[in-house]
A and B are shown apart, each in its own frame.
Chain A
Amino acid sequence: MQIFLQLVASGVAVGMIYAAIAFGYQLTFATSKTLNFGQGEALMLGALFGLTLVPFTGYWLMLPLVLVFGFALGAVVERLGVRPAVKIKSEYGWIMATIALGIIFKNVAENIWGRDDLKFPSPLPEEAITFGGVRVLPMELMIVAGALLMMLAVELFNRRSIWGKAVVATSNDIDAAGLMGINTQKVITLSYSISAMTAAFAGVLVAPVTLTGATMGSVLALKAFAVAIIGGLESGLGVIVGGLILGVAETLTGFYISTGYKDVPGLILLLAVLAVRPVGLFGKAVIKKV
């Protein structure tokens, strides 16, 4: 039983890492029906940027600076990669454009920060704490709490602020929102900025536990994408549930079936969700008029 709980605890921590990244996919998809496939690279740049700042500012003061950095980064991605494709009504141009930007970011990062995985200093003690025999790193608790807080903050922003309401309006019906005088272009840029900001924040959040380096984003972003699909690209709650399902499924399979098949059930689940409920577990089915 204790082993089971330990596995679940570790799975939850990993799952929240996925969920924090997946959240960013959902933000941009809601407003513009596009995704930033460089989300992993935004995470990586956030973490490496934070790593550079830490010696000067300490961990806590570094956080707001990374948020600003992520915000700017998202705007750049939207302007360079997504807007031209959306403007010419290219259905899929943004896919290649965001992937291309991601690759460029990765290469730039390799040139600036080197190619090695680096150690991110942990702001909390690195000794595990014990809850009834289950050992958890303080940093893992912070990942869970930080990711939830971040999502809560974005939700509040969407519900309370005028800009947030514009985001919600745009995501509901972009044409109607435009007719009502909302500058939907700006709203889409904003959603990309918030999306990259959450990714950069997730980067500095997970970096003390994962590896930090130019390639850290690739695998995490892929898993997070699966999480976004499982949970539903339309739902904030969905990514949390999807993340937890995938994370816990991985650790449990690793222990009870085989560590060689650790990644399999998550992906089977992905296929199952796509087959049975293509909009994701928490997605809303909408009728698309053509």
Chain B
Amino acid sequence: MRSSLTALAAALACATAFAAPALAADPIKIGVTGPYTGGSSSMGVSMRDGVRLAAEEINKNGGVLGRQLQLVERDDEGKNEVGAQVAQELVNKEKVVATLGFINTGVALAAQRFYQEAEIPVINNVATGTIITNQFNPPDYDNNYVFRTSAYDVLQAGMMADEAIAQGYKKIAILADSTNYGQLGREDLEKYLKAKGVKPVAVEKFNIKDVDMTAQLLKSQAAGADVILAYGIGPELAQIANGMAKLGWKVPMITSWPASMQSFIDIAGTNGNGVIMPQTFIEDKTLPKRKSFLDGYYATFKVNKIPTPVAGAQGYDSVYLLAAAIKQAGSTSGPKVRAALEDLNSKVEGVVTTYDKPFTPKDHNAISRNMVVFGKVQDGKIVYAKDEDAKNAGVVRVKEKASN
């Protein structure tokens, strides 16, 4: 017994002695978490591949602080409980410097507290629930470690509602899925509509994997709805579009951003044409940065289309923002990187936009409403919904003061 203890101690001593000199050139570990399997995986995989692409580019150019970026990828399966497990593993075992990811609002809310407690910055690059960046606001917490590069729900809900009203629709039906994402989005929509003095004529719910939307659609129709605002992800949004075609009821449909998922386009087919949704990124090559991003993505992952372009672009940008912050901090310590993110000195050229002071201590959202455009499904692709946006496609939309 005694001898085995001594051996163990000796082994430990050896291990630490060997590990110490290697530290200087150690790679910088960055967690990447998202659903790479299951219903929302087209978003997760697009995000991960965007992240991989950016990390590879940065590493080719010498890395950050002379160190290479090393991605520690974990599949959170879009499940809240798995997300929390992944977070603990990345924090406690992998000792990541920061984490990029979260596709699902519910997963983000369940998992990001572990990073907050460990003072490790998180950049949400896809999840849109409004509360995500407000979960750890001062004064309840000293500092908030959660940042975001996606168009959060209040922005999207506002755009969806305003668009419906601007097009002259009076009777709005809201259809939302029963997940955290759908229900938080529905709340934002209802709140916004209330402020505008509009009461939706129907507010209906559906579950993930529901195959029949007849009841929801008939209720909306019976209530006299002339437009549908739908909050959900690709497959079920497609079932709504197909259900409308089946019932022979044709009203315009405005959805949250995931109607840009490949699954929506495939499953809805021609029934999906004309559906519009807020987008931070449309797959076009108007800017050199966008062209190099798209060419790189297509070549590296051997596709001719990003499954979910918005997720890919935001994932890509989140790496560059994090790299810039680490560089400015001159360190990988969490508090320093957070402070650098809140006050980035250099402009970061990304795919969605050129980030000029994207975050402040009070505002952890990089996207403001003026940066989001409407995309439209047209024959299997997402295009600009409005002519003026298409004309201005090459103009970089920079952030203005956000309202959140």
Contact = CB atoms under 8 A, between A and B. Distances in A.
A19 to B, nearest CB: 14
Contact of B246 (A3, A118, A135, A258): A135
A110 to B, nearest CB: 5
A115 B34 CA distance: 13
B269 A119 contact: yes
A45 interface: no
B38 A119 contact: no
Given A3-B222, A6-B247, A211-B239, A262 B39 contact: no
Given A116-B263, A211-B239, A251-B212, A128 B247 contact: yes
Given A115-B45, A116-B41, A118-B266, A255 B247 contact: no
B42 A17 contact: no
Contacts of B36: 115
Interface stretch (B23-31, B156-164, B203-211, B320-328): B203-211
Contacts of B37: 107, 110, 115, 214
Contacts of B212: 10-11, 13-14, 250-251
Contacts of B12: none
B42 A116 contact: yes
B247 A251 contact: no
A250 B210 CA distance: 11
Contacts of B262: 116
A210 interface: yes
A181 interface: no
Contacts of A254: 214-216, 219
Contacts of A258: 205
B198 interface: no
A7 B218 contact: yes
A3 B36 CA distance: 41
A224 to B, nearest CB: 12
A151 interface: no
Quick one: which of A110, A116, A137, A254 has the most chain B CB within 10 A?
A116
Interface SS of chain A: helix
A40 to B, nearest CB: 11
A254 B202 CA distance: 13
A6 B263 contact: no
Interface string B313-325: 0000000000000
Interface string A31-51: 000000000000000000000
Interface residues of A, number: 42
Contacts of B219: 254-255, 259
Nearest to A10: B214
Contacts, number: 108
B267 A211 contact: yes
Contacts of B238: 211
A132 interface: no
Contacts of B247: 6, 128, 135
Interface size classification for chain B: 35 or more
Interface in A3-32: 3, 6-7, 10-11, 13-14, 17
Contacts of B41: 115-116
Interface in B38-73: 38-39, 41-42, 45
Interface string B240-263: 000001111000000000000111
B134 to A, nearest CB: 26
A213 B261 CA distance: 15
Given A14-B212, A219-B209, A259-B204, A126 B245 contact: yes
Given A6-B247, A135-B246, A263-B207, A255 B42 contact: no
Contacts of A13: 212
Interface string A201-228: 0000010011101111011100000000
B267 A262 contact: no
B343 to A, nearest CB: 39
A215 B39 contact: yes
A102 to B, nearest CB: 15
A255 to B, nearest CB: 4
A128 B211 contact: no
Given A117-B263, A259-B219, A14 B211 contact: yes
Contacts of A214: 37
A260 interface: yes
Interface in A119-154: 119, 126, 128, 130, 135, 137
B34 to A, nearest CB: 12
B116 interface: no
A135 B215 contact: no
A184 B155 CA distance: 65
B211 A260 contact: no
A164 to B, nearest CB: 32
A133 B36 CA distance: 44
A44 B239 CA distance: 18
A142 to B, nearest CB: 14
A137 B206 CA distance: 21
Quick one: which of A13, A137, A214, A262 has the most chain B CB within 10 A?
A262
A88 B219 CA distance: 54
A118 B263 CA distance: 6
Contacts of B106: none
A262 B177 CA distance: 13
Given A117-B234, A128-B246, A260-B178, A7 B215 contact: yes
Interface of B: 36-39, 41-42, 45, 178, 204-209, 211-212, 214-216, 218-219, 222, 234-235, 238-239, 245-248, 261-263, 266-267, 269, 307
5 contacts: A115-B45, A117-B234, A117-B263, A117-B266, A254-B215
The list of the 5 closest CB pairs from A to B, nearest first, reads A254-B215, A115-B41, A10-B214, A219-B209, A210-B211
Given A7-B215, A262-B205, 16 more contacts: A3-B218, A13-B212, A115-B45, A116-B262, A117-B234, A118-B266, A126-B245, A128-B245, A135-B246, A135-B247, A211-B239, A211-B263, A219-B207, A254-B214, A259-B205, A259-B219
